[in-house]
Amino acid sequence: MCNLNQYFNSSIGKKQIVATTGLLLILFVVGHLAGNLIIYLGPEAFNNYAKKLAGLRPGLYFVEVGLALVFLTHILVTALLIIQNIKARPVGYRVYGDSGERSFATRLMPYTGTFLLIFIIWHLFDFTFIDKHGSRSMLMGHSYGLFGVVYNSFVDPIHSLLYILAMCCLGFHLGHGIESFAQTFGCTNLTSTPLIKRISYYSALIITVAYSSIPVYVFFSYPILK
């Protein structure tokens, strides 16, 4: 028990918790993206996917609770690590304690993280806690379920821009997080570091572009469907 307390109270312990929970969240982001991209297959495929997910309840509730705990742990331990670093050396934000000059993405972490937190709350009320067969699901006089809700949301340019901005913030987080995970668990050296940096950058870029393509697709295809 003493060793566990020392681990959780230590800087390296907190860094590893942040890195591990961050990796789990990245895996969720990739899985969520795969589901979201089904929208390109049309309303029937997209709504069938949503229906199959809903059919996994009540088991899905345990997954959602676990995901929420991972997310809250990531935020809480990150905050504790920031406070610890400020007390030890008040020279700005450095979550993972990497050596050398901090990257642009690292310096933006407090702001991108805060924006993402606000976005996630908004996103839940926007697409999850909503009547998926109400007025926002209507297209051409018919209810298109969740597909219609998503479509009508992204027709609004402000809505789409805020979503794309959130995905850019997510990209900054992912680019930093993947690299930091490798650094935290000692997977970097003179040979592997450049490769890990490229993997982090291109993975974040692909995920950001893929997510952002959805509101762009909806916005520009809407007049045709209308």
Is the pLDDT at 97 greater than 60, yes or no?
A: no
Is the pLDDT at 213 greater than 90, yes or no?
A: yes
The CATH number of 2-225, from 2.30.29, 3.40.50, 1.20.1300, 2.60.120, is: 1.20.1300
Q: Which helix (H) or strand (E) holds 161?
A: helix 157-184
Predicted local confidence at residue 1, as pLDDT: 56
Q: How far apart are CA 196 and CA 188, in angstroms?
A: 8
Rounded to 5 degrees, what are φ and ψ at 16?
A: -70, -35
Window from 29-43, 110-124, 201-215 with minimum mean pLDDT: 110-124
Q: Where are the domains of the chain?
A: 2-225
Burial-class residue 112 by CB neighbours within 10 Å (0-12, 13-18, 19+): buried
pLDDT in tens, 16-32: 999 999 999 999 999 99
Packing angle of the helix pair 104-123, 59-88 (nearest 10 deg)? 140
Q: Which helix (H) or strand (E) holds 216?
A: helix 192-225
